[in-house]
Amino acid sequence: MKLGLFFYHKKIEVIGLENIPKKGAILFISNHPNALLDPLLIVTNNTRSLYFLARASAFKNTIVARFLKTIHMLPIYRKRDGVNTIEKNKAIFRKSVEIMNAQKTLFIAAEGSHNIQRRVREFKKGFVYVILDTFKKYPELDIQIVPVGLNYDSVIKYPSSASIYYGKPISAKKYYDKNDSLSTTKHLLEVVRNSMKTLTTHIEDEENYDTIITKLNALNVNYLNPIETNKVIHNLDTYTEQKSVKKKKNLLYYLVVLNSLIPWLIWKKVEKSITEIEFVSTFRFSIGVTIFPFFYSLQSLLINHFFGIQMAVLYFILAIILGLILTKTSKI
């Protein structure tokens, strides 16, 4: 997965790895703008091995479910998933408590759903329930909450770049009151969300969100640097718009498409069927790390049949290198 993400993204920046405790129970709490790529980026750019919660609909296929469980994904259920969702979630929360007690790590996208907007939405209470249940059963334990800000220059376009900001760990025990779960919940939701607002671009003004985004795009802000971008948001009227430059497809793009025509056409067909915009990158990435190299392998076998193994190996290496160069040099 890490190799696939390297080929898919133009650049991946990781800031704050030193904020991740080397041992002990950790809850990683992040925003969620980009479907499956969010947990994949965190789990492959982390100093700890993670378990993470994902929506149960991803587990419908038996084979897929087995694979997801082998990479430590746990299904979390919503009302739309059926009448037994509450009981099923109780089992998942019990599992999460034992993960914490075993001094392991758990990743939760606290907003509860993905959304392309550049803002930290209100948090669901799921991660707080894990903390409360853990402290009730294991009162001597502490849990370090590490807020994570996921940033993309584009969730839709290719090749995009990403940055991962790990914030300072927050001791859950500091905000825990065994006699007042409501107060504990309120404080944890507020503290963690406020921390995350500094780790990713946060547009507080929902009413004027579209206008603000248009201005930020016109200013050509660096969305990979949320600290600077948030400063621009707070002083938006003092900045002057920059001239936009229309980006053209270069010759390399058409060469790669020609060499990958069948998988490229498959992607274009799949792209039309995607109903949630946040899933565009997930599907593109999935096709990119499976169908494209498989197709190159088939073409290599064909070249081997007519021209020999050396030409086949040379072609395969060249095809991979051209794709990598396209990713690393193209502008969105």
- Tens of pLDDT, residue by residue over 11-23, are 999 999 999 999 9
Could you report how far apart the first and last alpha carbons of the chain are, in Å?
Answer: 23
Where in the sequence is the domain holding 224, given as residue range(s)? 209-238
> Is residue 189 domain-shared with residue 119, that is, in the same domain?
yes
> Is residue 32 domain-shared with residue 147, that is, in the same domain?
yes
The pLDDT value given to residue 66: 81
> Is residue 64 domain-shared with residue 179, that is, in the same domain?
yes
Domain membership of residue 117 (yes or no) is: yes
State mean pLDDT over 175-190. 96
Q: What is the distance between the alpha carbons of residues 39 and 107, in angstroms, rounded to a whole number?
A: 8
Q: Which residues lie across from 151 on neighbouring strands?
A: 163
* Count of domains forming the chain: 3
- Tens of pLDDT, residue by residue over 99-158, are 999 999 999 999 988 999 999 999 999 999 999 999 999 999 999 999 999 999 999 999
State mean pLDDT over 242-251. 72
User: What CATH number has the domain bearing residue 109?
Assistant: 3.40.1130.10
Q: Return mean pLDDT, the chain.
A: 93
The pLDDT value given to residue 132: 97
Q: What is the DSSP string of 117-142?
A: SSS-PPPPSHHHHHHHHHHHH-TT--
The model's pTM:
0.92
Domain membership of residue 204 (yes or no) is: no
- Tens of pLDDT, residue by residue over 24-41, are 999 999 999 999 899 999
Q: What is the distance between the alpha carbons of residues 244 and 331, in angstroms, rounded to a whole number?
A: 13
Q: What is the distance between the alpha carbons of residues 230 and 281, in angstroms, rounded to a whole number?
A: 25
- Among the residue ranges 55-64, 200-209, 240-249, the one predicted with the least confidence is 240-249
Instruction: Look up residue 135 and give its two tokens.
Output: 């402290």
Domain membership of residue 274 (yes or no) is: yes
Q: What is the DSSP string of 224-248?
A: T-HHHHHHHHHTGGG--PPPP----
Q: Above 90 in pLDDT, residue 282? A: yes
Domain membership of residue 201 (yes or no) is: no
Identify the band that residue 249 occupies on the pLDDT scale cut at 50, 70 and 90: confident
Domain membership of residue 203 (yes or no) is: no
Q: What is the distance between the alpha carbons of residues 296 and 14, in angstroms, rounded to a whole number?
A: 31
Instruction: Look up residue 107 and give its two tokens.
Output: 């990743």
> Is residue 269 domain-shared with residue 300, that is, in the same domain?
yes
> Is residue 124 domain-shared with residue 255, that is, in the same domain?
no
- Can you tell me whether residue 11 is helix, strand or coil? strand
- Tens of pLDDT, residue by residue over 183-221, are 999 999 999 999 999 999 999 999 999 999 999 999 999
Q: How many CB atoms lie within 10 A of CB 155?
A: 24
Identify the band that residue 65 occupies on the pLDDT scale cut at 50, 70 and 90: confident
Domain membership of residue 78 (yes or no) is: yes
Query: What percent of the chain clears pLDDT 70, i.e. is strictly above it?
Result: 97
Domain membership of residue 77 (yes or no) is: yes
> Is residue 107 domain-shared with residue 213, that is, in the same domain?
no
Give 281: exposed, middle or buried? Use CB within 10 Å, 0-12, 13-18, 19+.
buried
Q: Above 90 in pLDDT, residue 67? A: no
Instruction: Look up residue 20 and give its two tokens.
Output: 């991740």
Instruction: Look up residue 121 and give its two tokens.
Output: 């939405």
> Is residue 140 domain-shared with residue 257, that is, in the same domain?
no
The pLDDT value given to residue 317: 97
> Is residue 64 domain-shared with residue 188, that is, in the same domain?
yes
More confident: 182 or 88: 182
> Is residue 187 domain-shared with residue 270, that is, in the same domain?
no
Domain membership of residue 103 (yes or no) is: yes
The pLDDT value given to residue 52: 87
Q: Are 25 and 100 in contact (CB under 8 A)?
A: yes
> Is residue 293 domain-shared with residue 169, that is, in the same domain?
no
Instruction: Look up residue 83 and give its two tokens.
Output: 């009448």
Q: Are 105 and 130 in contact (CB under 8 A)?
A: no
Alpha-helical (H) ranges within the chain are 2-8, 37-44, 62-70, 85-101, 126-137, 181-196, 209-218, 226-234, 251-259, 261-273, 280-307, 309-329
> Is residue 185 domain-shared with residue 36, that is, in the same domain?
yes
Q: Which residues lie across from 119 on neighbouring strands?
A: none
> Is residue 218 domain-shared with residue 325, that is, in the same domain?
no
